[in-house]
Amino acid sequence: MTLLIAADLAVIALVTCLMLALPALARPTLPFGVRVAAERAADPFVVAQRRGFARLVLLVAVAAVTISVPALFSAAPPVVIGVTATAVAVAGLLLYYRAHHRIRAAKEAGGWTAERRQGVTVDTTFRTDPVRVPWPWGLPAAAILLVTAGIGWSRYGSLPATLPRFPAYDTRVPTTVPVAFEPVLHQAAITLLVLVVVLIVLRARPDLDAARPSGSGRRYRVYLRGVAALSLLSAACLNLVLFVAALRLWEVVTPAVGWQVATYLPLVALLGGWLAWEIRVGQAGHRLPALPGEEQEDSGLAQRDDDRHWFLAGMVYVNRRDPALLVHARLGSSTWTLNLGHPVVWLLLAVLVVALAGLGLLALLGVIDLPRKQSLF
């Protein structure tokens, strides 16, 4: 029971830290997803909302501990821990939206938008000299994929007639090439998907600051390179998790606590790496140190970014007049969102819905079997 209580407290602490990090990682000019001028970033009302949000999030965490720990003794612990984590996250997001709504109302009532002339900055070098894909950072993911495939190929001839069903290992199924090499197929899919996402993000519209066009453009380049490199390393971490799972599937190793821990270590390293990066650079790289001449840069403009096009505290963007398909989100740090006002986005979503509906229909007709909800661990 002590371990269960420790796990419950750890999950609550993790979710609470993530909630507290949401406004902390954002630009000072984007408090709780509301665009304000630099002079208003330290406005007493904005500061009060930051402090109030932090106090309420901590209060939610204390309440979660008070309720969930006794519940562990009277209900299924995994259910209690899962429900508690979900409740803390939902409460944190609601408090975030509450602060967003209050700051936006104060901005409209106080006429903050009229205090500076609105404008945008465009850096054409992001088109003429775009940030390149840092291919060397993708080599670890490719190497782990090839090593896994090589071990699987050498083991295939000596595998038993049946193998545990991946990834649950709850039943055994006949040994075939798709069954035996399922971890390798997952690795290939993850590597390809991450590469496609990196290519799309590197070509997305840069998130620049009209008040500091030169400094924000340079910082954003550094930020993009880091995001791309970390994304490719993330593929390597996930491939490493699948490598350990494949060794268990092919019965190269026997299930043990040590191998269970080894499965989680890449995920811990992945989370730690992203958190350290986000804390260091901040949203769009605004925390990176300024070069000589950038400290006092001020064009006299405020970034033109109408709050009316943003919904759910900066998570959803809808602007029919904006030609961009993908824009940097206001929530969190390294996050992007689709412009739901663009016709191409709706076409892509329609294709996705039709494809999912087709898979569901084929499953109902018994033509294919959809994967069951399972845990990799």
143/108 same-domain check = no
More confident residue, 172 or 33: 33
218/152 same-domain check = yes
pLDDT of the residue at 371: 56
144/50 same-domain check = no
pTM: 0.85
285/204 same-domain check = yes
Domain boundary (115, 141, 174) is at: 115
Checking if the pLDDT of 262 tops 80, the result is no
260/347 same-domain check = no
313/242 same-domain check = no
Mean of the pLDDT values across residues 28-52? 92
For 197-220, b/e burial (b = at least 16 CB within 10 A) is ebeebbebbbbbbbbbbbbbbbbb
204-258: pLDDT as tens digits: 989 888 888 889 999 999 999 999 999 999 999 999 999 998 988 888 877 777 7
273/131 same-domain check = yes
pLDDT of the residue at 367: 60
19/139 same-domain check = no
131/276 same-domain check = yes
Round to whole Å and give the CA distance between 64 and 21: 19
269-279: pLDDT as tens digits: 888 889 888 88
Count of domains in the chain?
3
Top-confidence range, 81-85, 152-156, 235-239: 235-239
Range of the domain at 104: 1-115
Closest CA to 102 of 34, 28, 27, 19: 34
35/163 same-domain check = no
Identify the helix (H) or strand (E) that includes residue 87: helix 77-110
pLDDT of the residue at 375: 46
Number of Cα atoms under 13 Å in the Cβ half of residue 220? 24
Domain boundary (115, 143, 169) is at: 115
276-291: pLDDT as tens digits: 888 899 888 989 998 8
DSSP β-ladder status, 172-174 and 326-328: unpaired
Average pLDDT, the chain: 88
Tell me which DSSP letter residue 339 carries.
B
Checking if the pLDDT of 120 tops 60, the result is yes
107/132 same-domain check = no
Is residue 21 exposed (0-12), middle (13-18) or buried (19+ Cβ within 10 Å)? middle
pLDDT of the residue at 37: 86
Domain boundary (115, 150, 176) is at: 115
339/296 same-domain check = no
